[in-house]
A and B are shown apart, each in its own frame.
Chain A
Amino acid sequence: MKTNRPPRPATGAPRPAVRAPRPPARGLRPAVRGLSIGLLTLLFLAPFYLMLRNALMESAALTSPEWTWWPDVMRWENFTALFDDPALHMGQALGNSLLIAGITAPVSTLLASAAGYALARIEVPGRGVVLALVVATLMIPGSATFLPTFVVVGSMGGVNTLWGLIVPGLFNPFAVLLFRNFYLRLPREIEEAGRLDGLGRLGLYGRIALPTSGAMLASLGALSFIESWNAFLWPLVIGQDPSAWTAQIALSTFLTSQTINLPGLFAGAVVTIAPLVAMFLIAQRYIVEGIATSGLKG
């Protein structure tokens, strides 16, 4: 059920059998257009190629003036070396990142959906005030609050802990708003059937409303996973000890502390983006939808 799509404008007259004239096709000749798109695509993908090539090269070959398109001997040991070096903490950092993003994405999305449902569908006095309190936090730019949040989390002993890394990111007012808009458009009669079956308000949410928002949960969940995995400032502030490093922090520390082990750096970059690229290719449809819905209403 695609209730989250606005109905298409009705076109009164039936479609003509002949194909409508092509929308504007002048300006750029198709061949030029195709060529420029092809070149741009290559340009945008080139950094990925560089990353992989550099990760598999020998250190000396990487800085030599002689250009190599692809190493003759691929040095996969550059990757295993990442995990053998105890100073890098790469294995633990990747585990931390996986745990943090793996908890943040589903939990923050579900919490937002629950609050969004209540704000859309449960009529109680004072609901407007609650909504206003949620919306007001949207005005505050995210990163500038790293210090206020640090003060609170620090006072609760959250520095260098996993909960300190995770919990402040679980409450997403923007997602609450998106879910509220979604549930506002949910047809009442869908719930009516459940009410006749004797479901209470929580049952209506859990059994009826929540399952209809599967696509939305997937979209916002995927975006949340990416955001959480790529977060930098907050993990930098709160995860000071190597035991609390995320993959981004481990890589950043590796990058800013040395410029010698170049293939190692690129291998680290490949390892750090691999989970996201894989997820991206699998869940692309949801991610595109998520960007389109969440971006436009921002």
Chain B
Amino acid sequence: MTTASDTTARAARAGSPAAVPRGPAPARKRRTDRRAWGAFLLLTAPVLIGLGVFKYVAIGWSLLLSFSEAEGTIALGDWVGLDNYRRLFADPAFGGSLVQILLFTLAVVPVTFASSLGLALLVHRVRRGRAVVRTAFLIPTAVSYVVASLLWKMSLFNGLPAGIANTVGGWFGMEAVPWLQTTEPPLFWIALITLRLWLQVGFYMVLFLAGLQAVPKELYEAAALDGATGWRLLRRITLPMLRNTSVAVLMLQFIAAFQAFDEFYNLFYGGISGTSSAPVQTPLLHLYNTAMGAQNYGLGSAGAFVLTALIVLVTLAQGRITGFGRGEE
């Protein structure tokens, strides 16, 4: 049915130019031009002005600030060249935060990727009650990082001997530990990774499910006739057909993980000491403390640019390597 109506639509479109009377008179053309411009500007103006002010002007201003001594002020003028960048790279805390976010990304992205793909493969086969199962996995995506951090910190990983994580650990002969404060071994990573997993896995599962639905059934039927089964079908047909989805999911996960802030702030923020007692700092937390805590907007701007540049570079490199956006292979 879809195919039939599409064909008629295409046929009609092909014939449409002849049906439209074109006004050849130049005077009239100019007037329609101005009309077209008016409509175009009216429709695009809000977005253009908004992006202009809050992206282009903001980033330009911030770039200039990064070359200025701007502590407690957002005024420009006190030019110091690259001093802010030098200070930033000399600060072991910033370098450390970059290392730690890299570790975090390398841990959380593969785990989330594999889990969401696995869940999608499972849910895709469910015949009855698929909607219910999908909802169960998807509903955590509506939960904020604040709420999830609250649950993880105060309930699941609360460090009480009767806490959930310690009870489960006890089944395996583990002693009760304060999970979020234990750095040797770094048990707090488990809390961080499971939290993000719970929140995000349903989102990426839906992307994979959409990808799976786009795989033509005939491929499987043909392969099944050839005697291919289970793992071979998965390796030879399903995974290659999910290639574009996989690349997109990896990129989205990387960008999201590298900008992690919310859960680190809410899990580790401790009253007066702020986030300084946290076992792990992310670059964004470091920037937040520099800009909003110490009010050094020049140094903070420099950090924002370094971080942005890093993310853009890795995204571009990833796109290059995996050939994303190259279209058909």
Contact = CB atoms under 8 A, between A and B. Distances in A.
Interface string B256-278: 00110110011001110000000
A295 B252 contact: yes
Interface residues of A, number: 111
B171 to A, nearest CB: 14
A163 interface: no
A288 interface: yes
B308 A140 contact: yes
A114 B44 CA distance: 7
Most buried by A among B2, B126, B136: B136
A183 B20 CA distance: 20
Contacts of B230: 24, 26-27
B294 interface: no
Interface residues on B, range: 35 or more
Given A41-B136, A145-B58, A288-B206, A173 B51 contact: yes
A137 to B, nearest CB: 5
B297 A147 contact: yes
A38 to B, nearest CB: 9
A171 B47 contact: yes
A25 to B, nearest CB: 8
A233 interface: yes
Interface stretch (B22-30, B78-86, B137-145, B184-192): B137-145
Interface stretch (B34-42, B89-97, B104-112): B34-42
A150 interface: yes
Interface in B151-178: 151, 153-156, 160-162, 164
19 contacts: A11-B218, A23-B224, A37-B133, A114-B44, A124-B33, A139-B315, A142-B259, A148-B62, A151-B297, A188-B13, A201-B36, A205-B43, A237-B292, A256-B271, A259-B154, A272-B147, A276-B142, A288-B134, A295-B206
Question: What are the 4 A-B residue pairs with the smallest beta carbon separation, nearest first?
Answer: A171-B50, A148-B62, A27-B230, A148-B58
Given A189-B16, A288-B206, A296-B248, 14 more contacts: A133-B48, A147-B301, A151-B58, A171-B50, A171-B54, A202-B39, A226-B142, A230-B143, A230-B145, A236-B265, A256-B266, A266-B155, A281-B135, A291-B203
